[in-house]
Amino acid sequence: MKLTVKIIKRLMFTPVVTLALFVAVIGIKPVCFFWFYQPAPPDKCE
Amino acid sequence: MNLNQLAGRTANYLSRELALDTNKIDTLRFGLEIIFAALIKGIILLSLARLLGILPEVAFAMVCGAVYRLLSGGAHCSGYWRCLTLGVFTYLGAGELGIYLGRYLSINLPVFLLLAGYLLSFLCVLALVPGEVPYKKITNITERNMFKVLSVVYLSLWLGVSIIVLRYAGSSLALAGLIAVMTQTISFSPPGYKIVHQLDNLLAGLTGLFMERRYQANEADR
């Protein structure tokens, strides 16, 4: 049962994480992404 | 909890569940923060525009303003919820004003307004772009020139599209786009930084007052 939950979670979360990492890579480059807000980029990208 | 903390906690949870590399957590937090910010702002702005019956004008203003802002930079609020409030008011205001002015202006006047807005923005772009933004200082001359060129190219495209929109879809759409572009031009100019900073302080003050009253009410209940 525990293993099934773990597999379901992994299947659900992996696309979210992949998308977030992809957006982070694009999001670092422009001057700013949003009107009146700028999320702090990760340290290593400064 | 602010958006940064929310994204941080989500990133920590996801990295634990997927046994991700720990040095990826901050990158994941950044990506999630961008996604959350876009989703919340997009849903709230478009829903309110739909409720007010000004969805096409607000959507056109949003596209015109957001792409231009991406290339030109500009002033920022110090917190996401204040940014959300200011952004929603700006774009709903652009949509409403576009509809209002569209009713009263003659057919030729919007063309002249678009040309005047283009010329003014063009000069401001040459002098001031890229506007300074937190966490991203662009000092390299080549990079600064690239953003200037991209902004000018975008403005020219916007002018062309707006004239076509004006001809075939009505003046209210084009005027809403013009107001969004002018607002963005002001936001990367020195007076724009002062205005956004003052509005940010005002909203922070209002939030502080509200939180204080709620705290006092909670204390009185005890």
Q: Which of B18, B30, B69 sits opposite A27 (nearest CB)?
A: B30
Whether chain B has a CB inside 8 Å of the CB on A8: the answer is no
Q: Is the pLDDT of residue A35 over 70?
A: no
Whether chain B has a CB inside 8 Å of the CB on A2: the answer is no
Within 8 A of B134 by CB-CB distance, chain A residues are: 38, 40
Note the pLDDT of residue B79.
81
Note the pLDDT of residue B100.
93
Q: Which of the residues in chain B have pLDDT under 70?
A: 1, 211-222
Does A31 contact B30 at a Cβ distance shorter than 8 Å?
no
Q: Is the pLDDT of residue A9 over 70?
A: yes
> Closest by alpha carbon to B175, among B124, B109, B90, B121?
B109
Predicted confidence band of residue A46 (pLDDT cuts 50, 70, 90): very low
Q: Give φ, ψ of A34 to 5 degrees.
A: -130, 160
Query: Which pair of tokens denotes residue B205?
Result: 């003050």
Q: Is the pLDDT of residue A19 over 60?
A: yes
Q: Which of A9, A33, A36 sits opposite B34 (nearest CB)?
A: A33
User: Can you say how many angstroms the Cα of residue A45 is from the centroid of all Cα atoms in its chain?
Assistant: 15
Hey, where are the domains in chain B?
1-52, 53-221
Q: Is the pLDDT of residue A44 over 70?
A: no
Residue A4's H or E segment, with its range, is: helix A2-27
Query: Does this model's pTM top 0.90?
Result: no
ipTM of model: 0.77
Of the ranges A8-12, A15-19, B131-135, which one carries the lowest mean pLDDT score? B131-135
Q: Which of A19, A24, A35 sits opposite B69 (nearest CB)?
A: A35
Amino acid at B32: L
Q: Is the pLDDT of residue A12 over 70?
A: yes
Hey, where are the domains in chain A?
2-45
Q: Which residue of B has its CA nearest to A41?
A: B30
Note the pLDDT of residue B51.
96
The Cα of B106 is separated from the nearest Cα of chain A by a number of Å equal to 32
Query: Which pair of tokens denotes residue A6?
Result: 């773990």
Residue B173, CA distances (Å) to B42, B86, B92, B94 in order: 19, 21, 13, 10
